[in-house]
Chain A
Amino acid sequence: MKVLVAVKRVVDYKVQIRVKSDNSGVETQNVKMSVNPPDENAIEEAVKLKEQGLANEIISVSIGDDKSQDVLRTSMAMGIDRSILVKSQNTLEPLAVAKTLKIIIDKEKPDLVLMGKQAIDDDSNQTGQILSALLNWPQGCFISNLKIENNKVFISREIDEGIENLETSLPAVLTCDLRLNTPRFASLPNIMKAKKKPLETIDIDTLGIDTSSKIKTLKVIEPPKRKAGIMVNDVKELVQKLKYEAKVI
């Protein structure tokens, strides 16, 4: 089985983001960037499938500028065999990302595609679902458990009501929840080894797809700030405040 993992480079989840002063977006220059957290779960799951002998080749793909090489190197340090960077100067919307991935998938012919359930920058939560529809492959979203046996795929999905269990088959597109696994840390020797693994670069303009934005961002603003509250001294005061000041109990 061949597994393809899609990886996005995003502002690190620990960074307190800043809205640009001209309200054109969020500051991403000179900010720590990392692998989108649920994409790390997708990488980890692919590496586990290889360790279990279920996958024989695992590859990662990212779309972005040259700097996106670093998240691909990270994925290879975690155990991915080789990577593909689709070079694009522009930020792509989920539909364009899925179309781009489809072209890579048509060429690479993986049996399974894994990615995070959403990117923590635009919080769209769409790409896996769109890709599954474009490929006409089964979709399994927000998965927290995966078992593959004889070409059968058993997944548990995190839904608002609890957990949903589905059975499907390969090839499939699965999007990963943070609870799917615990991503490993790349060891120093593995980081060194990853530098020698193959990283292919493809210019997005050569793929012949429409990647233009369909959505125009008019402005990006800071959310309204909550005004600072007070500290109460004890439970009695808290309950009195809630009853007579806030009037919520």
Chain B
Amino acid sequence: MSVLVVAEHDNKNLKSSTLNTISAAEKLSEDIHLLILGNKIEDLAKSSKLIQLVKKVIICDHEKLENQIPELSSPIISNLAENYSHILAPSSTFGKNLLPRVSAQLDVTQISDIIGIESQDTFIRPIYAGNAISYVQTNQKINLMTIRPTSFEKCEEAGGDAAVENIPFIDSEVKTTFVSREVSKSDRPELGNARVVVSGGRGLENSDNFKLLYDLADKLNAAVGASRAAVDSGYIGNEYQVGQTGKMVAPELYIAVGISGAIQHLAGMKESKVIVAINKDLEAPIFNIADYGLSSDLFQAIPEIIKELDLLNQIES
């Protein structure tokens, strides 16, 4: 049977989490349909139909869908459900906000944050902040699943020519209105998706000192992350938080600076390929999972690393 992937996007481009979710869908079916709910999404439909793995792009284009209010989008998804064996969405704040409503409307239990697909009905998901891994099986009329993007490769964005189908907007009475979105603009790579992540913790001591991390991140073309302690202390915005209740990251290189390594933080980054920890406290638990530990004052170490990286670049050029 066919599998439906609900696209996460900003009405102009797909988020990379959508590409990861399509890869997960490939493990379930060859007939993958991509559902895009948004406003003025003709161009987005044109670029999305090129994704090789996608057989059909389903578009619902309406001004009321501009801001992804789940009360409006979930009935449209539920209405399509009978055609599918599985409906997938990324387990980002977008998917988490939306898919459980579909679960209520279809009266099936959703499976959250899947990191592995064993078969059509057996899935792997982390529980207890990733301190245990659960294998679950379900036998429902339809499987609703949110997919952890970092656990699946991004699919190719080209090479295909999917059919495009427009479906009518179904209006629902909604009492919620969108006011504004406060989004920080940055030229650095997206945190969930960067090859290198440089994260800071309470050891940075204040928001001004995070500039040190930005300098290091720019040298490495890295995204910047933070521990919950740093976000709670107001050093940096919530969108940078890595951990159980923040973002999950799995970059090739994760550099934890002044982060002690609470279980909840480790949950968000321990799948990284190489982990570096810089902390002056030798007892910090982050050292237990780091490939390379440096017990040093970060205010000395970071400028030194930047200097060493400059030296390396000079030798190479």
Contact = CB atoms under 8 A, between A and B. Distances in A.
A144 B110 contact: no
Given A162-B183, A163-B181, A218-B122, A231 B305 contact: no
Given A129-B97, A165-B179, A216-B136, A230 B309 contact: no
B120 interface: no
A246 interface: yes
Contacts of A241: 292
Contacts of A122: 127
A46 B247 CA distance: 28
B264 interface: yes
Interface in A197-249: 214-223, 226, 228-232, 234-236, 238-239, 241-243, 246, 248-249
Interface string B227-240: 01001100001110
Contacts of A120: 128-129, 244
Given A133-B104, A223-B132, A249 B253 contact: yes
A140 B262 CA distance: 28
A238 B294 contact: yes
Contacts of A131: 104
B136 A229 contact: no
A160 B239 contact: yes
A169 B127 CA distance: 34
A138 to B, nearest CB: 5
Interface in B265-288: 270, 273-276, 287-288
A249 B104 contact: no
A175 B81 CA distance: 26
A220 B192 contact: no
A122 to B, nearest CB: 5
B14 to A, nearest CB: 14
A141 B245 contact: no
B293 A95 contact: no
30 contacts: A16-B131, A95-B104, A95-B107, A95-B109, A128-B100, A142-B96, A160-B94, A160-B239, A162-B183, A162-B184, A162-B239, A163-B237, A168-B176, A179-B238, A214-B138, A214-B139, A215-B111, A215-B136, A216-B136, A223-B133, A229-B293, A230-B293, A231-B287, A231-B292, A232-B292, A234-B294, A239-B309, A246-B291, A248-B273, A249-B309
